[in-house]
């Protein structure tokens, strides 16, 4: 089916009915499912056109577009030149081996990049924006990408508008269109048809893709999707923007450039030293020296570092998603590890968002209701024992069953055994408490509702009219509401099984009871009733006539109980040096009570209110934010000011939010955290992280995960840099100290003799870099990351202490490798009796094993490698594969030819392992003294 697009160029000029006719949609029921599917196939998804996908072959080629890879290509050319000069004898082994290594590195880089790309795509699908539509007369929420022309959008506060649409009906509908028009004020929309074309900002009968509903409700017919929308028109005018690198990626790139320059200099020095130390006479010698220099320059820089970094971050983000913390971009992982303040809402985040009756006060005294949440597990107790006093129990039944009657909530048990509610949470609290008393079945059988006087904000109460089947079908009015409002309508009160006049003394006692509950930060509700006379009308329209002369039954204290795991999470945050601040719109006493129960503040602390904040000047406001950890009755604007004040003090701030008006604070915070359940689409878009379970403990877990990921990045950086430094120093010192270790004079022809061949250096990088480094990127937490203060945001990933460590370990690797070489060569410091090929193979193997031992060192700066040694099976798998490949290179004949190796005897393998393990023992001694000095 094709639409008359010309007629829809400006839908604001057409009546909604006319648009419905053109788009063949029903204004009551929307499109049918088949219509929507057909149009989606016809028009394509409702998405802005992104850059065309890069073909696989181009992604593969991109792996070879790197200066270091160009150096390898140069090494291949040099090796081929040497083979040609040598008379093309045999196969050009060096060139073939380097070529194979280049291809393997490229394919490995492509695989790592693909894994990171797939992880990012999966997270993108998890955070996709949805829209409410009517299809087949049913309200559905579908991904906004599946909206089609003719869909009937159902708009409400907090929704992100998924497509351009013509308003059909609206009620106080206001839309924030700053992203499209630049207008800062929200625009009040209506369904009126315009007489002529006006600018976008004045098209009051339209809503546009990419804008946000901040107030009210409405229905609208989708008129344009994807690139046909107004947002799409803007997208067509924009060039594709380059994705900004994260601070961590920028630092790694800087380190790579710095290392590249340093190593090229070192390679030139090594080449110059070789020319000075050895008699370089033949063209083959010159080419071998040049080949060594190029190989050394390439091997000394961890060229796979960016790909490994992306994969590690992507895998960490996926792990967070499994724990209900959906991080929308990889860069936020870095910030999480630095969070020093978490500003959190109360309801649903620190609390269960399940209103629970905690106390019940009647004429006979106070009863406590045990158990929390909607699961009816608990009992009604007095002084720690089950309520058994007949009079007191009768009063409790009257209050809890009366409160259940005067409400419309429903309590349901799900198939998995959990409990959920439909309706108002406060009303549901009566249903749960009534079940704990065990009288709900009798109430259901006894009473039948025949009328209702609904709750309004002006009345602050509601009533129902019930027929009592156990009392000659007597009609009973049951009321529930604010105690002070209800008490004004009462003239009597229930005491045990009797009804007595409500005199001044009893009235004062009830008010005192209400104050007691309020002082305990409990929300109070009262219940009253009275039988209706036969001559009294039960018409709900005559509320004033019948909601009088009531019998007061009692008062309950209700609280949204803290989440059990929140207190431990807050304790963990405090232990990690993270300050937790509660910011809520709730009553100050309630906020202070919950904050105290959870350990955010000490008992007796008070909350600062939004009104009090407004009375402070800027220095006073900054000081209040610095010293206060509970803010109550605050507006969204206060949240933004609090975030700004904290950041001005040098804090890295995480801020939670769920409402539309929270979006500015979330966007301003270093880590905006949106509620996945209660949060609006607008807040989810503004946030960097979404809590799928709205649970504060998930934030703290995400911070722990962020710190662990950052630690793992430092682990594999320590490992890669120190291992590559070991290769550089081995070749450099081997050339400089050639006479000392007996390396000169081993070739009777006088040819250049090097401690390692170029192909051997490249092989070391291939088998020891990517696999073990990736495995360390998913290393379980070895240090207690929550036992230290937050990392300063300006702290470098590779600091001076790490550089010292890198140099130390590199030097140890070089020393043990050269000693092994000297051990098997004639002459030198240690007299040996083997030929050069055998000695070089042993040294080559020692350096490989030293780097694999270094995997265990790099997992922690201070903790022994023998603690948590087998926690990471991936690391041991990578080590095992690397060892197997090294054994093959040494023991398999055709690989001997390719890499210039010879088989080693069993005792030589043992010597190589023993010498390589010196790296581990050296580091264990250093860690021991470091721990001793720390005390």
Q: Which residues pair with 558 in a beta bridge?
A: 357, 523
Coil vs helix vs strand at 365 = strand
Residue with tokens 């073990």: 772
Residue with tokens 């009597």: 492
Distance CA 136, CA 155 (A): 17
Q: Greatest CA span in the chain, whole angstroms?
A: 128
Active-site residue, selected from the candidate residues 285, 345, 670, 769:
345
User: Do 703 and 576 touch, CB atoms closer than 8 A?
Assistant: yes
Q: How many CB atoms lie within 10 A of CB 307?
A: 22
Distance of CA 817 to the CA centre of its chain: 44
Beta strands in 181-229 (DSSP E): 187-188, 206-207, 212-224
As a dihedral over the C-alpha atoms of residue 818, residue 823, residue 827, residue 831, rounded to 10 degrees, the angle is 150
Distance CA 142, CA 133 (A): 7
Residue with tokens 């270091």: 68
Cα-only R_g, the chain: 37
User: Do 291 and 270 touch, CB atoms closer than 8 A?
Assistant: no
Backbone phi, then psi, for 326, in 5-degree steps? -95, 105
Q: How many CB atoms lie within 10 A of CB 186?
A: 19
End-to-end CA gap in the chain: 79
Return the DSSP state at 170. E
Beta strands in 513-667 (DSSP E): 523-531, 550-559, 579-583, 608-609, 630-632, 653-657
**Residue 345 is among the residues annotated as catalytic for this protein:** yes
Concatenated DSSP letters of 601-615:
S-TT--PEEHHHHHT
User: Do 466 and 447 touch, CB atoms closer than 8 A?
Assistant: yes
H runs (alpha helix) in 649-777:
663-668, 681-686, 696-736, 758-768, 770-777
- Between CA 538 and CA 543, with CA 541 as vertex, the angle to 5 degrees is 70
Structure tokens given for 379: 């009992």
Active-site amino acid positions:
345
């Amino acid at each position: 089916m094709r639409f008359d697009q010309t007629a829809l160029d400006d839908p604001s000029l057409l009546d909604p009915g006319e648009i419905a006719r053109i788009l063949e949609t029903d204004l009551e029921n929307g499109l049918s499912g088949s219509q929507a599917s057909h149009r989606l196939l016809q028009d394509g998804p409702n998405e802005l056109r992104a850059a065309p996908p890069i073909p696989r072959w181009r992604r593969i080629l991109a792996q070879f577009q790197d200066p270091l890879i160009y150096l390898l290509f140069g090494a291949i050319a040099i090796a081929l030149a040497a083979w040609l000069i040598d008379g093309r004898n045999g196969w050009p082994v060096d060139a073939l081996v380097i070529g194979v290594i280049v291809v393997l590195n490229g394919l490995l880089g492509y695989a790592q990049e693909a894994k990171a790309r797939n992880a990012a795509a999966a997270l993108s699908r998890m955070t996709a924006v949805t829209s409410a539509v009517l299809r087949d007369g049913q309200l559905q929420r579908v991904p906004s990408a599946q909206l089609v022309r003719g869909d009937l959008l159902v708009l409400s506060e907090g929704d992100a508008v998924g497509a351009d649409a013509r308003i059909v009906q609206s009620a106080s509908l206001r839309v924030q269109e700053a992203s499209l028009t630049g207008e800062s004020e929200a625009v009040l929309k209506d369904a009126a048809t315009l007489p002529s074309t006006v600018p976008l900002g004045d098209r009051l009968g339209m809503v546009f893709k990419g804008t946000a509903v901040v107030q009210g409700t409405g229905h609208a017919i989708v008129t344009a999707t994807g690139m046909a929308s107004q947002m799409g028109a803007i997208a067509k005018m924009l060039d594709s923007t380059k994705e900004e690198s994260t601070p961590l990626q920028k630092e790694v790139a800087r380190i790579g450039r710095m290392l590249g320059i340093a190593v090229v200099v070192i390679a030139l020095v090594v080449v110059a030293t070789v020319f000075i130390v050895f008699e370089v006479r033949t063209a083959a010698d010159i080419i071998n020296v040049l080949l060594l220099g190029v190989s050394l320059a390439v091997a000394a820089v961890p060229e796979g570092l960016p790909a490994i970094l992306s994969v590690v971050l992507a895998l960490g983000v996926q792990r967070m998603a499994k724990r209900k913390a959906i991080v929308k971009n990889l860069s936020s992982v870095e910030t999480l590890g630095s969070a020093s303040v978490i500003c959190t809402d109360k309801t649903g985040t620190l609390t269960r968002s399940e209103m629970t009756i905690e106390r019940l006060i009647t004429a006979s005294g106070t009863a406590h209701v045990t158990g929390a949440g909607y699961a009816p597990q608990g009992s009604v107790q007095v002084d720690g024992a089950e309520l058994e006093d007949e009079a007191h129990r009768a009063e409790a039944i009257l209050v809890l069953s009366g409160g259940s009657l005067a409400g419309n909530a429903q309590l349901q048990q799900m198939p998995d055994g959990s409990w959920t509610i439909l309706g108002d949470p406060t009303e549901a609290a009566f249903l749960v408490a009534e079940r704990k008393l065990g009288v709900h079945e009798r109430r259901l059988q006894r009473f039948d509702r025949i009328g209702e006087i609904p709750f309004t904000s002006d009345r602050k109460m509601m009533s129902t009219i019930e027929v009592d089947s156990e009392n000659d079908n007597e009609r009973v009015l049951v009321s529930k509401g604010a105690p002070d409002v209800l008490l004004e309508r009462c003239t009597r009160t229930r005491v045990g099984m009797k009804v007595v006049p409500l005199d001044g003394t009893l009235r004062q006692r009830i008010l005192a009871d209400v104050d007691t509950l309020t002082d305990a930060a409990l929300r109070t509700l009262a219940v009253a009733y009275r039988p209706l006379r036969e001559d009294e009308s039960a018409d709900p329209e005559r509320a004033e006539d019948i909601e009088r002369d009531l019998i007061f039954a009692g008062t309950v204290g209700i609280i949204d109980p803290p989440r059990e795991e929140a207190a431990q999470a807050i304790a963990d945050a405090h232990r990690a040096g993270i300050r937790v601040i509660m910011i809520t719109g709730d009553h100050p006493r309630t906020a202070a009570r919950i904050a105290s129960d959870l350990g955010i503040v000490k008992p007796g602390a008070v909350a600062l209110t939004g009104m009090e904040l407004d009375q402070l000047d800027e220095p006073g406001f900054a000081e209040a934010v610095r010293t206060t950890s509970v803010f109550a009755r605050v507006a969204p604007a206060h949240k933004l000011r609090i975030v700004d004040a904290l950041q001005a003090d040098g804090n890295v701030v995480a801020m939670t939010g769920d409402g539309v008006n929270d979006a500015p604070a979330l966007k301003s915070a270093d880590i905006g955290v949106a509620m996945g359940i209660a949060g609006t689409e607008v807040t989810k878009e503004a946030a960097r992280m979404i809590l799928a379970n709205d649970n504060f403990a998930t934030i703290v877990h995400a911070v722990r995960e962020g710190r662990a990921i950052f630690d793992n990045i430092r682990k594999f950086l320590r490992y890669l840099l120190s291992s590559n430094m070991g290769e550089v120093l081995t070749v450099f010192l081997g050339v400089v100290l050639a006479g000392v270790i007996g390396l000169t004079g081993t070739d009777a022809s006088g040819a250049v003799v090097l401690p390692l061949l170029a192909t051997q250096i490249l092989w070391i990088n291939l088998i020891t870099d990517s696999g073990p480094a990736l495995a360390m990127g998913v290393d379980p937490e070895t240090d207690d990351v929550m036992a230290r203060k937050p990392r300063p945001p300006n702290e470098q990933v590779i600091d001076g202490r790490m550089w010292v460590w890198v140099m130390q370990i590199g030097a140890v690797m070089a020393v043990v490798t050269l000693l092994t070489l000297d051990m098997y060569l004639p002459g030198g410091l240690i007299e040996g009796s083997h030929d050069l090929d055998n000695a070089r193979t042993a040294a080559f193997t020692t350096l490989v094993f030293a780097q694999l031992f270094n995997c265990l060192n790099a997992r922690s700066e201070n903790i022994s490698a023998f603690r948590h040694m087998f926690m990471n099976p991936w690391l041991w798998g990578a080590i095992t594969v690397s060892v197997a490949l090294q054994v093959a290179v040494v023991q398999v004949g055709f690989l001997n030819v390719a890499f210039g190796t010879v088989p080693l005897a069993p005792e030589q393998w043992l010597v190589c392992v023993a010498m390589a393990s010196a790296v581990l023992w050296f580091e264990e001694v250093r860690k021991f003294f470091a721990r001793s000095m720390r005390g």
